[in-house]
Chain A
Amino acid sequence: MSKIQEGLLYSGSHEWVKTDGDIATIGISDFAQKSMGNIVYVDMPEEDDEVFRDEEFGAVESVKAASDLYSPVSGTVVERNAALEDEPGLLNRDAYANWIIKVRMSDPSETESLMDAAAYTEFLSKQE
């Protein structure tokens, strides 16, 4: 079974979001890292790049396959997690302690359509 962390918001494409004012911290769920297997590369946008809700902003890659990342919110990238450049496997070790990007949201109300932990648990139960 995959771990689901309380207090986070989740997208149907298995990204999580934590908000602090208009800053959204984005990562992938434990379910996502488990389905990928060993992650060997994380493709992240640069600071100041724009991201758009439900659009691709990067990818996580295992030996065999690349899996696109979709942004749960729109906005501007303010920080990328540089630690993942050298150690992409951090996402396998703890998908919630290791975020991918931080975004300054252009429309914080977009988070209203995301799932809370309970809804995501329900969502996953239909997938697993």
Chain B
Amino acid sequence: METLKKTCLYDIHTELGAQMSPFGGFIMPIQYSDIAVEHNAVRQHCGMFDVSHMGEIFISGPDSEAFVNHIFTNDVRALQPGHIQYGMMLYPEGGTVDDLLVYRMPEKDTWLLVVNASNITKDYGWISRAARTWNVDVSDRSGDFGQIALQGPESEQTVYDVLGLDLSDLVFYTFREVEYGGETVIASRSGYTGEDGFEFYASEGIIRKIWKTLLGAKVTPCGLGCRDTLRFEVGLPLYGHELGEDISPLEAGLGIFVKTEKPDFIGREAVLALKDSGLRRKLVGIELSDKAIPRAGYPVESDGRQIGEVTTGYNSISTGKSVCMAFVETAYGTPGTAVGIHIRKKVFPGTVCRKSFYDKKYRK
């Protein structure tokens, strides 16, 4: 058993009495007070998350643009410095190595890839092996960075009032470097909650300073528990649930981030073959009429036969409805289709719907 890593805010979390649990190789705060309270703080005001467990991998060098485009499903050729793209890295067979953000840095030929904590080692190895024949430098700098996400409709005002930073010029999926505490901070208008908000990448010392300053201004600290309920409600995938080594982004409904019109990227042939043969399963939303909660791994049924499996499910905090995302056989993927979800001893009736249960409120 690998020892769990601690983020640079670990001691502050325990002082706050957070409930701590392992996640992606780290010991992380799951909740400080109550998942629903923290969830609602983000939807209605703003809340902050320690997301220092996320990985930061830098790619630089003369071939870097072509190389990033070679390992990434989205198309970075038109990406301007200061802009961000979401996409995946794929195996040649078409399964997903990871989903990630690509930042085109202001420095020439420099790219920041932000990857899932649980996949840092795998991703770094994967990228490094792919890079052997390219004139690029790949560097895992996850240990150099802490990261805080401030999320919610009051984020812009809070950043201005509390941190003294005017980031009103940034639109969603853009970033710039700012000065804070005498150091450079990457300030990015992004996040994974469906709300407007910012993510700050900086040295551990500065991240501690930002966290303490926000905490002093009574910003709600939020754990990974509500990060999951928030991302789930707006239909965002979590690697290990809606994406994985044997899941194609096409099955997960993420085809718009896979640019097959690009001449080349790892996994392109497999994506084209899958488009040609058609999907055997797809990710859908399912709404239950009862309040019973469908959870990951529960079977989805039709006429007594299993036709799929739940990937994430909750009694949605924002809507009060019991809903889930699930992979189902394509024939059952049309909205309105009646299915059942096996919960303990009973089968509860449900209806296939959009896999987003709450509207995103990004600042475009």
Contacts and interface: CB of A to CB of B under 8 A. Distances in A.
Interface in B306-330: 314-315, 317, 322
Contact of B293 (A37, A40, A68): A40
Nearest to B295: A66
Contacts of B225: 63-64
B149 to A, nearest CB: 20
Contacts of B229: 63
A110 interface: no
Contacts of B317: 63
B212 interface: no
A59 B348 CA distance: 15
B292 A63 contact: no
A96 to B, nearest CB: 22
Interface residues of B, number: 17
B363 interface: no
Interface string B233-254: 0000000000000000000000
**Chain A interface main SS type:** strand
A56 to B, nearest CB: 7
Contacts of B292: 41, 43
Interface string A31-42: 000000110110
A123 B222 CA distance: 34
Interface in B284-318: 291-293, 295, 314-315, 317
B343 interface: yes
Contacts of B34: 37-38
Contact of B35 (A43, A56, A64): A64
Given A63-B225, A63-B229, A64-B225, A41 B315 contact: yes
B57 interface: no
Interface in A44-66: 56, 58-59, 61, 63-64, 66
A61 B293 CA distance: 8
A58 B292 CA distance: 11
Given A38-B36, A41-B291, A66-B295, A59 B344 contact: yes
A58 B343 CA distance: 10
A10 to B, nearest CB: 23
Interface in B102-152: none
Interface string B264-296: 000000000000000000000000000111010
A37 B315 CA distance: 15
Given A63-B35, A63-B36, A63-B225, A40 B344 contact: no
Contacts of B344: 43, 56, 58-59, 66, 68
Interface of B: 30, 34-36, 225, 229, 291-293, 295, 314-315, 317, 322, 343-345
Interface of A: 37-38, 40-41, 43, 56, 58-59, 61, 63-64, 66, 68, 85
Given A38-B34, A43-B343, A64-B30, 8 more contacts: A38-B35, A40-B293, A40-B315, A41-B291, A41-B293, A61-B293, A63-B315, A68-B344
For the complex of A and B, list the 9 residue pairs with the smallest distance between their C-beta atoms, beginning with the closest. A63-B35, A40-B315, A61-B293, A41-B291, A41-B293, A64-B225, A38-B34, A43-B292, A41-B315
